[in-house]
Structure 1
Amino acid sequence: MIREPYPAGPRRTTAAGAAGAVLSLLLAWPAAGQEDPPALPYTAEVAPLDDSGLRATAEAVAQTIRLRERAPTDAFGLIGRVRADLPRLQDALRAEGFWGGHVTATIAGLPPDDPSLPGRLQRATEPVPVVLTLVPGPRYRIGRISVAAEPAAAAAPVRAAAAEAGLAEGDPARAEAVLAAETAIRDALRRAGHPLATVAGREIWVDHDRRSMDVAWRFAPGPRATFATPEVTGQVRTSSGLLQRTAARQLDGRDYSPAALERARRALVALGVFESVRAEPAAALTPDNRLPVTFVVAERPLRAIGGTVSYETNYGAGISAFWEHRNLFGGAERLRLDAEAARLTESSLGNATYRAFATLTLPEIWRRDARLTARVGAVREMLEAYDRDAIVTSALAERRLSERLAVQAGPLYETGRIGRYGVMEDFSLLGFVTGLRWDDTTSLLDPTSGRRGAVTATPFWSIQDGRTFTRLLATGSTYLDVTGDARGVLALRAALGATVGATRDEITLDKRFYSGGGGSVRGYTFQSIGPRDAGNRPLGGASLMEFAVEWRQRISGPWGAVAFVDAGSVGEESYPGSGDLRVGVGLGLRYLTAIGPIRVDVGVPLSTERGDPSYALYVGIGQAF
């Protein structure tokens, strides 16, 4: 039996030895230096060709292949290049678990150390063939695994962390798997509250008789720690007190964990003031085992402008623009002015919809962990279902219960005139919004996995006639990365709405439920699904039910395509599903950009009524949901 470490030398190696050396080779191959002018064309190949994946690895490692076209060389340079590749390829074999394999090479049919080779190459008139031959032999397996603590008194947390190594006896003896297991154990120790956990030693033995590799680790977990009061540096215009309070809410006095550190970093990012936030934990604990942390921030420009353009065949174009100040008074207060014009067509500019709003967002209320969003605006809507001129105000407080879950509540007030067929009536509504929101998706505009959900309940009181009713709405969507590489995503959406305390005709026109259009059931005219009056105009309903299924497929580069089925119903009764179900199907194209996908969808209604189009085209930014 032969037991030897790798590389050759002492029988025991450290963390810089076997696995580390060969994996480092794969991750950081030497860059090419300057070569002599082109003098010797050659071809290069790896033999034998098989399905083990070694051919691709060898071609990536071998500079003889990588530099053939972009760094031509002469006879002596080629010989040196091939000779240098032999130990490099040997290490590549060992990194993949082929510890008993070997590598040979020929240049013009001769080994690279043949003394006659330079002269033969200098006389060559045709490209010289170079063949790199890999003989991997059997793949070795992981043998005995040992994990010890340093000092021995710290055995309990090390033993618990070792259970998350992900490496087992009998696994392929790949260097990358060994290093991944080492990282997993160290990270598990840090998640368990040991911020200074390190690898105190690694020893690897290769047994050629057993064709196995034994691994022994020593881990020094260090003491458990809590977070000290964090510090923030780098701010120029933003209140230091606000920043320290924001970070401290996530960290101060809590047990150390990388997840808590990341939550604090994200809380600072969420203020919207910084273009970058970097967490820098200290290298040592305080005498009372607290970990100092410093967040280094870089502020964004104070002001921003932007806008969007959309188009729908049924009602024409829409355009919106905004101006934003991101740090109005130095406390990360955000002021945003929005203006929108929608339903713009050549024949109905006077009947378009216009909206203008000013929104002020405060990141905390009375130094408490709650965000306040105050909004005031004016709307003029000329829709098929109703016409409305109104002033709208609201003040909603939102508090995060966790990184994904938030609760919100606050009053709203609307006043103006609303009606149909030119008959307008005064209205004033006072409401109070309460709701829960969940979001663990990967992206706001183009999610590939995760779920979103929101539930709101809004009681309303009509100041004119004293009527009351409560509007309930639940929406949710989920995104499944079916292919595992975000190229094929199944997206599902559902919405359920109900109004209690009043009949459909007693509900203010704009607070009824409507369905149809680009944001709900594609293929149908905006608000067209549901009951209609004698003039074929939507009446709205007291309940809503919508479903959507969409397959999102990346095609090539930034291009993608979707296929979708949307369905919805609006009922006169207060329970969802009381109306007739309408279904639309369609296809779409996506072009991915840094700000989200540009969307073009064509929807076709399957159950049309009088006045419904045969298809509808939608253009916008971001996925449909």
Structure 2
Amino acid sequence: MTMVAVTTALSPALVADAYAFKLFGINFFGKDDKDANQVPDPVRYEVTLTSDAADPDLKEALENSSRLVSDKEQPVSGDLGVVVKARDDRDRLIAALYEKARYGGVVTITVDGRNIDDLPPNPTFDRSRPVPVNVSVAAGPVFRVREVQFGGDAANRNPADYDLGPGASAGSLTIIKAGDKIVEQLKSDGRPLAKLTTRKVVADHRTNTVDVVLAAEGGPVAPIGTVGVTGAKAVRPDFIERYSRINKGDRYSPEALKKAGERLRALGVFSSVTLREGDQLAGDGSLPMIIEVSEGKQRYFGVGAQYSTVDGFGLNGYWGHRNLFGGAEGLRVEGAVGRLGDATALGDLDFSAGITFTKPGAFVPSGTLIASILAKSENPDAYSAKLVTASLGYSYELNDTDTFTGAGEVSWEKDDDAFGTNTYLTFAAPLQFDRDARDNKLDPTSGYRAMAKVTPSYEAYNGTIFSAFEGSISGYYGLGAEDRIVLAGKLSAGFLLGADDLANIPATRRFFAGGGGSVRGYGYQEISPYNAANEATGGASFMTASFETRVKVTDTIGIVPFIDVGVVSADVAPDFSDIRAGAGIGLRYATPFGPIRLDFAVPLNKFEGGTDYGIYAGIGQSF
């Protein structure tokens, strides 16, 4: 058995011209020539960049900084346009040298054999062939820090804390970042008007050393003052102010302001959010604030399609509203149908339809009310289930990283599985704690994420009381200055108490593993205990683990070798006698909204007649 899964979202962005393929505005292959037709008096050039630098990082930085190199396929406007681009390139290359502490470097550029400083104001070149441009970079020595002086409210600081210790590389960015860090530290002390008053850098070309002077003025400690809102139309200003959690009288904190902006953007109602601080303090010594917003589209919809050699075609669609009553209340209606072309009867299709309502800032600014009802029919190899679930829950943000969620739900379910045909009515009260300490939610390079969940349940038809306990933790560790390699791991486990007879537990509440969310290379929910008739029963406990090495080949392309392992047992304690493992390699393509993921995996100890391999696609890392 083989499995291939592909998902495509229909969008106007997919309608590309005949020469290029674009998705979400990104040109994946081919080139678009329309820009050349829009350049008046187009002149083409060919460029050669040479450098005596032995440092590969410096060579890469120079190539990345050169607009002549990066834009070499695009014409410029007129003969003077070549010269203007060359002069701009010299400034950019000198700046790149300074960033690498090469203050004695020399950049020489010639156009058509003549130095750009010797060209007339209105040069003319032979256009019968691309104009030759030669860029030569003499990198010069690395300059080191000799002495650092801190003044004003920055006095008595340790230069090593700012990467400016004696003998350290004196790159210009390091010096700029040191000044910014000093101001940031002063502001974190509650001083909103802190500023850098002196940044002086003197390079000694005889000794290849640099002396640095940095001075700052902290200004007074001031609390938050009045908070105003501008740009709001359909969203109530009082909701925006309340949900931002920036309150008059609170201690000024740049981190709190950053979190407020992120919180408002996460609502999805605004196309932009800017928090503007007053240039001076109010008469009472407080700092006035303005929250400036620009509202985006409140209604949205989408359709999608997917294909699997196991499950056939699938279609899905959704419609939503981001601001029902002026307080960013969300409503989302969605539906899907699967196994088209694979199912032999209408009852074998996978259906789902649901509606979800969310109210952020319910009761308190950090709380969110969530109500939903979902009806679905699903038919994996292990079982067929038809169910309807209604849920009412509340999510509360304890702090910036921790969230607690509680809900009450009722679910009716009819199963056809290894235990025959059974009907269940289950009342449950799931409680969940999440801690998210990752540096980036879509592409983390450091930190961790942990989840703990308990779901007390009562199945009314059989009078069964049971509880599910689940937990997971994932961690990330970047290697190298730019995290070119990231080690990522995840461990998940769970068990059911009160599941002495699995036949009394609905199939969708038993444990299975396999597929893109757990052990790649196996079919969806293929990993399970099996009865004497070789029918999957689901289990009372499970454990899965995944390990990935995420390697950046370029700034946009990465490869990810990985291995997943998992076990599902009929008993409360996992039985590790039948561990299943899958291994494979993935491809990542970086985009502004997270990496596009494509994984290929094979089972290392496949089931007899089971899946041979799996291909998985999505947006964001696998965990």
2:326 is the alignment partner of 1:323:
no
Pairing partner for 1:536 from 525, 534, 537: 534
Check whether the contact 1:312–1:617 (CA below 8 A) recurs between aligned residues.
no
The answer for the alignment partner of 1:278 in structure 2 is 274
Contact 1:45 1:132 (C-alpha < 8 Å) held by counterparts: yes
Within a 5 Å distance, the mapping from 1:210-225 to structure 2 comes to 212-225=209-222
Q: 1:603 aligns with which of 601, 605, 610?
A: 601
Aligned residue type for 1:227: I
1:293 to 285, 289, 294: 289
Q: 2:110 & 2:316 partners in 1: Cα distance? A: 67
**Alignment-mate amino acid for residue 408 of structure 1:** T
Find the aligned partners of 1:543 and 1:228 in 2 and give their Cα distance. Answer: 54
* 205-214 or 447-456, larger mean C-alpha shift: 205-214
Q: Measure, in 2, the Cα distance between the counterparts of 1:185 and 1:550.
A: 37
Q: How does 1:469-480 map to 2 (within 5 A)?
A: 469-480=466-477
Q: Give deviations 1:559-596, integer Å, cap 9, x for gaps.
A: 55443322211111112345621112234445555655
Partner of 1:147: 150
Residues 187-586 of structure 1: pairs in structure 2 closer than 5 A: 187-205=184-202, 212-247=209-244, 249-344=245-340, 345-420=342-417, 423-441=420-438, 444-482=441-479, 485=482, 488-505=485-502, 507-510=504-507, 511-554=509-552, 560-577=558-575, 580-586=578-584
1:104 Cα deviation (Å)? 8.9
Instruction: Describe the shift of the 1:603–1:622 C-alpha distance in structure 2 as closer, same or farther (beyond 3 A).
Output: same
Alignment of 1:34-45 (within 5 A): none
**How far does residue 398 in structure 1 lie from its aligned partner after superposition?**
0.7
Please give the per-residue CA displacement for 1:407-455, whole angstroms capped at 9, x wherever unaligned. Answer: 1112111124334379533321111111111224455555455433211
Distance, in Å, in 1 between the alignment partners of 2:323 and 2:143 is: 60
Q: CA deviation at 1:276?
A: 1.0
**Higher mean displacement: 96-105 or 271-280:** 96-105
The CA distance in 1 between the partners of 2:442 and 2:95, in whole Å, is 44
Opposite residue 523 of structure 2, the aligned amino acid is T
Q: What amino acid sits opposite 2:339 in the alignment?
A: R
Preserved contact between residue 590 and residue 597 of structure 1 (Cα < 8 Å): yes
Q: Is the 8 A contact 2:164 2:170 kept in 1?
A: no
Instruction: Report which stretch shifted further, 83-92 or 377-386.
Output: 83-92
* Structure with bigger gyration radius: 1
The alpha-carbon deviation at position 497 of structure 1 amounts to: 0.5
Q: Which amino acid aligns with 1:567?
A: V
Pairing 1:181–2:178 present: yes
Structure 1 residues 223 and 531: alpha-carbon distance in aligned structure 2, compared to 1, 3 A threshold: same
**Structure 1 range deviating more: 251-260 or 220-229:** 251-260
SS of 2:429 mapped into structure 1: strand
Deviation string 1:200-237 (CA, Å, 9 cap, x unpaired) is: 23445555666544333332110112222422211111
In 1, distance between residues paired with 2:552 and 2:51? Answer: 35
Q: How many angstroms does 1:133 deviate by?
A: 8.2
Instruction: Tell me the percent identity.
Output: 32
Change (3 A) 1:618 1:67: closer
Residue deviations 1:227-264 (CA, integer Å, cap 9, x gap): 224222111111222111112x2454332221111011
> What's the offset of the Cα at 1:531?
1.5
Contact 2:413–2:506 (CA under 8 A) maintained in structure 1: no
Structure-2 separation of matches of 1:61 and 1:594? 21
Q: Any idea what the Cα deviations from partners look like across 1:54-78, whole Å, max 9, x if unmatched?
A: 888889999999999958869xx99
CA-CA distance at 1:551 after TM superposition: 3.7
Query: Does the 8 A contact of 1:357 with 1:375 survive in 2?
Result: yes
Which stretch of the first structure deviates more once superposed, 169-178 or 228-237?
169-178
The amino acid across from 1:195 in the alignment is P
CA distance 1:568–1:287, change in 2 (3 Å)? same
Secondary structure, aligned partner of 1:292: strand
> Offset at 1:360?
0.4
Q: Could you tell which deviates more after superposition, 602-611 or 509-518?
A: 602-611
> Do 1:549 and 1:565's aligned partners in 2 also have CA atoms closer than 8 Å?
yes
Secondary structure of 1:296's aligned partner: strand
Q: CA, structure 1 residues 213+231, in 2 after alignment: closer, same or farther (shift >3 Å)? A: same
Distance 1:89 1:615, change over 3 A: closer
Query: Residues 213 and 575 of structure 1: is their aligned pair in 2 closer, same or farther, counting only changes over 3 Å?
Result: same
SS in 1 for 2:430: strand
What TM-score does the superposition give when structure 2 sets the normalisation length? 0.78
Distance 2:48 2:568 in 1: 69
Query: In 2, distance between residues paired with 1:531 and 1:255?
Result: 57
Distance 1:174 1:500, change over 3 A: closer
Aligned pair in 2 of structure 1 residues 208, 347: CA closer, same or farther (>3 Å)? closer
Q: Which fold has the larger relative contact order, with Cα–Cα distance below 8 Å and residues 6 or more apart in sequence?
A: 2
Larger displacement relative to structure 2 (131-140 or 266-275):
131-140
Call closer, same or farther: CA 1:108–1:253 in 2, change over 3 Å. Answer: closer
| Count of aligned pairs between the two proteins | 577
Please tell me the residue identity of whatever aligns with 1:498: F
* Deviation string, structure 1 residues 72-109 (Cα, Å, up to 9, x no partner): 869xx99x999999999999877865667888999999
Q: For residues 282 and 429 of structure 2, what CA distance do their matches in structure 1 show?
A: 49
8 A contact 1:311–1:618 mirrored in 2: no
Q: Report the Cα offset of residue 183 of structure 1.
A: 2.1
Q: Distance between the aligned counterparts of 1:509 and 1:43, measured in 2?
A: 68
Q: 1:72-151 residue pairs with structure 2 within 5 A?
A: 140-149=143-152
CA-CA distance at 1:277 after TM superposition: 0.5
Find the aligned partners of 2:203 and 2:60 in 1 and give their Cα distance: 25
Please state how far the C-alpha of 1:545 moved relative to its aligned partner: 0.7
Q: Which amino acid is the alignment partner of residue 585 of structure 1?
A: A
Counterpart of 1:25 in structure 2 is none
Aligned in 2, Cα 1:613/1:90: closer, same or farther, shift over 3 Å? closer
Structure 1 CA distance for aligned equivalents of residues 176 and 322 of structure 2 = 44
CA distance in 1, matches of 2:612, 2:604: 9
1:470, distance to aligned residue in structure 2 (A)? 0.9
Q: Secondary structure at the match of 2:463?
A: coil
Match of 1:279, as an amino acid?
A: L
CA distance in 2, matches of 1:356, 1:83: 60
> Are residues 392 and 484 of structure 1, via their aligned partners in 2, closer, same or farther at CA, if it must alter by over 3 Å?
farther
Name the SS for the 1:245 alignment partner: helix
For 2:115 and 2:333, the matched residues in 1 are separated by 75
CA change 1:545–1:337 in 2 (3 A) is: same
Which deviates more from structure 2 when the two are superposed, residues 360-369 or residues 484-493? 484-493
Q: Is the 8 A contact 2:584 2:601 kept in 1?
A: yes
Query: Whole-Å Cα distance in 2 between the matches of residues 525 and 64 of structure 1?
Result: 50
Q: Distance in 1 between matches of 2:396 and 2:592?
A: 29
